[in-house]
A and B are shown apart, each in its own frame.
Chain A
Amino acid sequence: MTADKFSATVRNSDDNAIIDLFGSMNALADDVLSKAFEEAARFNPNTILLNFSAVDYINSTGIALIVELLAKARKNQWEVGVFGLSDHYLQIFRLTRLSDFMEIYQNESSALLT
C-alpha cells in the first residue's frame, strides 16, 4: 500500500518562490502546505510556483488545499503557477477550472522563463 506522506521545500529564484511538493496531497498535507506558503511569503514573490513532479496522489481534499493556497496568494496579489503535473492531474486541474486561475507549465525552466 502506498504510504500517505507529504513534505515540501521552499526556494527562491528571482521574483519567484518555488514550493517543491513530495508525496500525497490529501488532508494530511494541510499543515505542511500552510507552512510552505508562509515560508514562500517571506520572499514577497511576484509568483509562487508549485512543483508537482514528485506528487503521486491528489485527492479532493488536496484540491481544496490548492484552492486555499490560491485564494491566499490572490489576496496578496501574487500569481500562482504549477509545473510537473501528470496528464491525469492536468485533466483534473482543467476539470476543476484551477487552470483558469493558475498558469500551467511543462517544467521548471519554462516556468522561470516567463
Chain B
Amino acid sequence: MSNKPSFWKRIFKRSQDQSNQDSSSNLEMTSESEIKPLDIPSDDPLLTLITTSPGLIEVNKHNIDSPTLDRLRADGVKLVLPLVSQGDLIGLLNLGSRMSEQEYSSDDFHLLNNLATQASPALRVAQLARQQQLEAQERERIIYELQVARLIQETLLPKEIPSSSGWLLDVHWQPAREVGGDFYDFIHLPENRLGILVADVTDKGIPAAMVMATSRSLLREAAERLIEPGKVLAYANDVLHSEIPPKMFVTCLYLVLNLESGEILFSNAGHNPPYLHSKDQVSELIATGMPLGLMPEMDYDQNRATIQPGETLMLSSDGLVEAHNPAYEMFGFPRVQELVRNYEGGDGLIAHLMQNLRTFVGEAYEQEDDITILTIERFEVLDSAVDTYKSVIEKFEGAQVLGEFAIASEPGSERRVAEQVLEVIAPLNLPEERYERLGTAVAEAAMNAMEHGNSFDPKKNVEINVLADEHQVTISITDQGGSSNIPKTTQPDLEAKLDGEQPTRGWGMFLIKNMVDEMNIIQTEDRHTIELLMHYGDGGV
C-alpha cells in the first residue's frame, strides 16, 4: 500500500446505534450527515495488519495495541472489511453484529470478501470523480479571483487620457494573463499642471489589486495636497509601510508637468527611469529613491527637466524591459533606450516599441507581467486661427480657390462632402485612381471632423476649402473641435486587432495619410484643420 495519508486518514464508519436501527431509520443512517469520519493515525498497527493480512478482520480476534481498533470495538463493530484498490487502502466497511444476533458464517465471510472486491473499484471511481469535482471548483475559484482582481485593476485606471493644447498623451496598458499590479494615473493640479504617475505593485492577483487600490488613493490624495513629487512619495511610503503586507512594495515614478512651460518636476521610488526623446537623442531622467512600503522615513530626490516642443517623454513598467524571447534573453533597458533613440516619428513611440517587442519575443510569447507604456509628447501650437490662415495663404500663393463650402455635422454626411469635392475638382482631370483615393481621404477626414471634432453637433459646421495650383490640389477640412488633440497617425496592428488585443476600429487617419500625397494637421486653440494634398499625376491638367 502506498503511503497516501489523504486517502486513508478519512475513512468512514457507521456507529453501532445506527446499524441497529430499523429500515426506515437506515435511510437516515446512510445520509452523509450521519457518517462520521474515522482518522487512523499513521503509526496505528491496524494499518500494518490490513496490509499484511488482506481480507476481513474480525475485530475481537485481534489483540493489538491499536487505538482505532479499540474505538471500533467500543462502537460495537465486529467485522472490518478493508476496501483496497490498486494496492491503496481507500476505505473500511465496518459491520456490527448480525441483526439475528448469530455469529457471521463462513458463507457471510465469502460474500463480504466478494463484496469488497467488487465495491472497491466503484468506490475508487467515485473518489476520483469527487476529487476532480473539487479540483474543478478550485480552478473556478482561482478564475473568479483573477476576474475580481482584473476588475479592481481596470476600475481604478483613468477612463480618459487628458488632452491639452500642444500636448499628446498616450498610454498602452496590457495586463498579463495572471493579473499583475501595474497602474497609472493622471491628477489635475492647480495652475495648469498635471500629475502623472506610473506604478507597479509586486505580487499578483487579488493581493496586488488590493495594494494597488490603497496606493492609488493614497498617492492621489497626497498629490493633490502636497504637490511636490518628493513629498508625495515620502508620505505615501510612510503610510504604505505600515499598511501593506511584509515583502510587498510598490515602485512608482511620479512627475508634475507644467502644461504651459513644459517643465517637469519628478521623483522616482525604485521605478524604471523615464526616457526623454529629442530628435536622435535620448536621455535618462534619474532621481533616486527606495520603492514605497519597504522602509519608513525615506527621502526621495526631486529633479527638474523640460520637455521642449518636438520632444517625447516615455514612462514604462518593467513588463516591457523584462520580457523574454524563446532563448530567454531579456528585451532589456539598452534595447528600449536604443529604440527610443532611433524613433523617427510617424506611427507613435508606443507602436514603435510594441512592434519591436513582438518581433523580439516571437509568436509563442506568453506575457509574464503587465506592460504599461505612457508617452508625453509636446508639439508646436499655432497661436490662433489667423496664423493658420496666414500659413495656408503663404503656402499656396498663386493658387486658385475652386470651392468653399460648409456642411452640418451629421452622421453619413461625409459622403456628401466627398461627392461635392470630387465634383468641384472634376475639371482637373485627375487620373481615376487618384480621384478615387482623394474621395476616400476627403470622406474619412470629413467623418473625423464631424464625429470627433464636432461631436456630430448639427449646429457645428465642417468647413471645406478646395485650392488648386499648377501642380496640385489642396483640400482643407476644418472642424470646431476645441483644444483636444488629433491622435497621431499610426500603422494599425492587424494581428492584434484580429486577436482581440486592440479595437477593430482605428483605421481612419491611417487611410487618409496613405490615400494622398501629403497630409498636414494644423491645430489652433479651437479648430483642427486636415490639409490633403494631391499632385495631378500623369493625367493632370
Q: Give the B-binding residues of A (Cβ under 8 A).
A: 1-2, 4, 24, 26-28, 57, 59-61, 63-65, 67-68, 70-71, 74, 87-88, 91-92, 95-98, 100-101
Contact = CB atoms under 8 A, between A and B. Distances in A.
Contacts of A96: 492, 494, 507, 510-511
B498 A61 contact: no
Interface residues of B, number: 28
Interface in B462-498: 492, 494, 497-498
Given A59-B414, A60-B444, A88-B440, A74 B494 contact: no
B494 A61 contact: no
Q: Which 4 A-B pairs have the closest CB atoms?
A: A60-B507, A88-B436, A60-B508, A64-B504
Interface of B: 411-412, 414-416, 419, 433, 436-437, 440, 443-444, 447, 492, 494, 497-500, 503-508, 510-511, 514
Contacts of A71: 497-500, 504
Given A67-B504, A68-B504, A59 B447 contact: yes
A67 B508 contact: no
Contacts of A28: 412
B440 A67 contact: no
Given A57-B415, A71-B504, A92-B440, A87 B433 contact: yes
A86 B341 CA distance: 42
Nearest to B494: A97
A98 B494 contact: yes
Most buried by B among A27, A96, A101: A96
Given A4-B412, A64-B504, A67-B497, 7 more contacts: A2-B419, A24-B415, A59-B414, A59-B447, A61-B505, A88-B433, A96-B511
A72 to B, nearest CB: 10
B494 A59 contact: no
21 contacts: A1-B415, A1-B419, A2-B415, A4-B412, A27-B411, A28-B412, A59-B414, A59-B440, A63-B511, A64-B503, A64-B504, A64-B506, A67-B504, A71-B497, A71-B499, A74-B498, A95-B511, A96-B494, A96-B507, A96-B510, A96-B511
Nearest to A70: B498
Contact of B494 (A26, A57, A67): A67
B412 A26 contact: yes
Contact of B415 (A4, A27, A91, A97): A4
Contacts, number: 65
Contact of B498 (A2, A67, A87): A67
Contacts of B506: 64
Most buried by B among A4, A88, A97: A88
Contacts of B511: 60, 63, 92, 95-96
A88 B415 contact: no
Nearest to A28: B412
Contacts of B412: 4, 26, 28
Contacts of A57: 415
Contacts of A24: 415
Contact of A100 (B415, B494, B499): B494
B245 to A, nearest CB: 40
A46 B433 CA distance: 35
A64 B500 contact: no
Contacts of B492: 96
Nearest to B491: A97
A97 B500 CA distance: 16
B494 A101 contact: yes
A95 B514 contact: yes
Contacts of B514: 95
A63 to B, nearest CB: 5
A64 B433 contact: no
A88 B508 CA distance: 16
Contacts of A59: 414, 440, 443-444, 447
A24 B499 CA distance: 26
A59 B451 CA distance: 14
B430 to A, nearest CB: 13
Nearest to A56: B415
B437 A88 contact: yes
Contacts of A1: 415-416, 419
A57 B436 CA distance: 11
Contacts of B437: 88, 91
Contacts of A64: 503-507
A1 B413 CA distance: 9
A112 B96 CA distance: 77
B502 to A, nearest CB: 10
A100 B498 CA distance: 12
Most buried by A among B411, B498, B503, B506: B498
A2 B443 CA distance: 13
Contacts of A95: 511, 514
A104 B508 CA distance: 23
A83 B198 CA distance: 48
A97 B491 CA distance: 11
